[in-house]
A and B are shown apart, each in its own frame.
Chain A
Amino acid sequence: MYVAVKGGEKAIAAAHRMLARERRGDESVPELSLEQIREQLSLSVDRVMSEGSLYDPHLAALAVKQARGDLMEAIFLLRAYRTTLPRFGYALPVDTSRMHIRRRISATFKDVPGGQILGPTFDYTHRLLDWDLSGHRSAEKDADALVSGEMDGAVEATQEAMPRVLDVLGREGIIESETSGPDSEPGDLTREPLTLPAGRSMRLQNLARADEGFLLAMGYSTQRGFGNSHPFVGEIRMGEVEVEFTPEELGFPVTIGEITLTECETVNQFIGSGDARFTRGYGLTFGQGERKAMSMALVDRSLRAGELGEEVRGPAQDGEFVLYHSDNVEASGFVQHLKLPHYVDFQSELALVRGLRRDSTDKEESHER
């Protein structure tokens, strides 16, 4: 338990002034604009939108700047801001088949309809520090890099819907089908608390806003044997999708804008024997967030252990463990609340420990007598 304390206003104001100075840093260095953060630290912006559970690159850039680049603090700022806004309603589900693809790969088939599109990826880079970036890189060099790839006229880069890799298995009936039965209204964690056991829609919403590091570790643990689900990456795609929303006053859906999403579909351990078929894991995240989407798909699949009749042996298969510890705003709040005054709690523990020691000394003394 912590207690309220009074006083210290002046010290707090001075601390905030110091924070502002530290945020600005050396004033002989130009100040960052939100446009610079949005355009040049776009993966920080994407992560803040994803875990802040609010898609708005401008606000996310502001949060990154205000938080001095502390992404978890920025996520907290975004979550706090969203509570000040009214909710207009629910959008129609996005259709990732109609995504304007910027990256699309499959690890299960070499030749996939639509082709493998590498897009802007760190894969295949040598992870060597690039000294060109330490100074002012010439725009010319960037342009050269852009046209050095081979033009491949044979396959038109997707103006139409990009075929889904898992549909290839689906047509053969060797992967579980993903259909919506009677389409019940999915649960919404921003409106109702998480209750266990949580259905898949509730779990996916939780994972979509979950801390990337936590999901990565959980996914990794399943690969290392704490609940193996034998994953293959069926497909990863990243690009822009249009969002449609049906305003009450219009009664028909209208496009409200375009957002960037990353999607990962895994092909997992099969079930059955004569009618054997693969199972699926699903990951979807705001922005370009492949590591997150992949981790999410691994954890989504491992949390289906119960429903698929698998033995629960690892933490990543335990819904209570995963879903109650995945949110970094909650986790950070609870860990950091330990900084708040616990003076009274500690005084009582202190008195207890001192008392125990005194009792034992008294006993020893009476023995000796």
Chain B
Amino acid sequence: MSTEQTTRQEWMAALALAPEARLQEAWNRLEAQPQYKVVRGPETGLVMVRGRTGNSGERFNLGEMTVTRCTVNVDEGIMGHAFIGGLSHEHARLAAVFDALLQLPERGEGLRRTLISPLQQERQAYLASRRDEVRPSRVDFFTLVRGEE
């Protein structure tokens, strides 16, 4: 897998996992809001979620989830895609626009610094606070010897 692809995967994940309000805010903050054309969607459909028996065995279909997708074309001719769990057209549209902008040499670097990296940090902070909430319910059971040994 090329580095370029890994970074795109990373930013697409950050955009998908971010709260919609954060993307809205980032869009409003943009100094130069670019022209873009919506090529497809936003439209909601289904993706079948899969599991594996015992997590490592045979694959099976667990059930579907809603996903909203959108494709945009920014005026420089770059296509941005988004596939976001849930029903929000706005989230998918904004994520697709940012996906396109992040591919532009003149904008990508800046957006990675001002948007993607903060989103990743916020996600890590959110996960850490969730772990803090869970930690106190960790228990050490002690057993009483039953006498057979």
Contact (Cβ within 8 A) B69 A88:
yes
8 Å CB interface, A208-244 against B:
208-209, 242-243
Contact (Cβ within 8 A) B57 A152:
no
Given contacts A146-B133, A256-B85, A258-B85, contact A200 B47 (CB under 8 A): no
Contact (Cβ within 8 A) B51 A94:
yes
- A289 CB to nearest chain B CB (Å): 12
A113 to B97, CA, bound (A): 44
Band of interface residues on A: 35 or more
Contact (Cβ within 8 A) A59 B51:
no
A38 to B48, CA, bound (A): 22
User: What DSSP secondary structure best describes chain A's contact surface?
Assistant: mixed
Of the candidates A97, A148, A157, the one whose C-beta lies within 8 Å of that of B135 is A157
Chain A residue numbers with a CB within 8 Å of B45 are 85-88
Of the candidates A102, A189, A263, the one whose C-beta lies within 8 Å of that of B61 is A189
Q: Mark A252-277, 1 if CB is under 8 A from B, else 0.
A: 11111111000101000000000000
Q: Mark A74-110, 1 if CB is under 8 A from B, else 0.
A: 0000000010011111111111110011110000001
Contact (Cβ within 8 A) B67 A245:
yes
B26 at the interface (CB under 8 A from A): no
A85 to B51, CA, bound (A): 22
Of the candidates A56, A110, A188, the one whose C-beta lies within 8 Å of that of B87 is A56
A117 at the interface (CB under 8 A from B): yes
Of the candidates A50, A85, A116, A157, the one whose C-beta lies within 8 Å of that of B44 is A85
Contact (Cβ within 8 A) B65 A166:
no
Contact (Cβ within 8 A) B53 A282:
yes
Of the candidates B59, B63, B81, B133, the one whose C-beta lies within 8 Å of that of A54 is B63
A249 at the interface (CB under 8 A from B): yes
Chain A residue numbers with a CB within 8 Å of B140 are 115-116, 152
Band of interface residues on B: 35 or more
Q: Mark B14-46, 1 if CB is under 8 A from A, else 0.
A: 001100000000000000000000000001111
Chain A residue numbers with a CB within 8 Å of B9 are 252-255
- A225 CB to nearest chain B CB (Å): 25
Chain A residue numbers with a CB within 8 Å of B135 are 149, 151-152, 157
A235 to B36, CA, bound (A): 50
B145 at the interface (CB under 8 A from A): no
Chain B residue numbers with a CB within 8 Å of A328 are none
A247 at the interface (CB under 8 A from B): yes
Contact (Cβ within 8 A) B55 A186:
no
Contact (Cβ within 8 A) A204 B136:
no
Chain B residue numbers with a CB within 8 Å of A200 are 53, 58, 60
Of the candidates B16, B55, B66, B84, the one whose C-beta lies within 8 Å of that of A97 is B55
Of the candidates A89, A100, A148, the one whose C-beta lies within 8 Å of that of B127 is A100
Chain B residue numbers with a CB within 8 Å of A110 are 141-143
Q: Which residue of B lies closest to A52 (CB)?
A: B63
B111 at the interface (CB under 8 A from A): no
Contact (Cβ within 8 A) A149 B136:
yes
Contact (Cβ within 8 A) A91 B48:
yes
Contact (Cβ within 8 A) A53 B138:
no
Contact (Cβ within 8 A) A259 B85:
yes
8 Å CB interface, B80-135 against A:
81, 83-87, 127-128, 130-135
Chain A residue numbers with a CB within 8 Å of B131 are 100, 157-159
Chain A residue numbers with a CB within 8 Å of B81 are 247, 249-250
Contact (Cβ within 8 A) B137 A119:
yes
Q: Which residue of A lies closest to B2 (CB)?
A: A252
Chain A residue numbers with a CB within 8 Å of B71 are 249
- B97 CB to nearest chain A CB (Å): 16
Contact (Cβ within 8 A) B48 A90:
yes
- Residue among B43, B44, B59, B86 facing the most chain A CB atoms (10 A cut-off): B59
- A143 CB to nearest chain B CB (Å): 11
A27 at the interface (CB under 8 A from B): no
- B64 CB to nearest chain A CB (Å): 5
Chain B residue numbers with a CB within 8 Å of A159 are 127-128, 131
Closest 5 CB pairs of A and B: A257-B85, A149-B136, A178-B54, A255-B13, A178-B57
Q: List 22 A-B contacts (CB under 8 A).
A: A55-B85, A59-B87, A88-B69, A95-B55, A116-B139, A116-B140, A116-B141, A119-B134, A147-B136, A148-B136, A152-B140, A159-B131, A178-B52, A186-B58, A186-B60, A201-B58, A242-B17, A245-B47, A253-B9, A254-B83, A256-B85, A259-B65
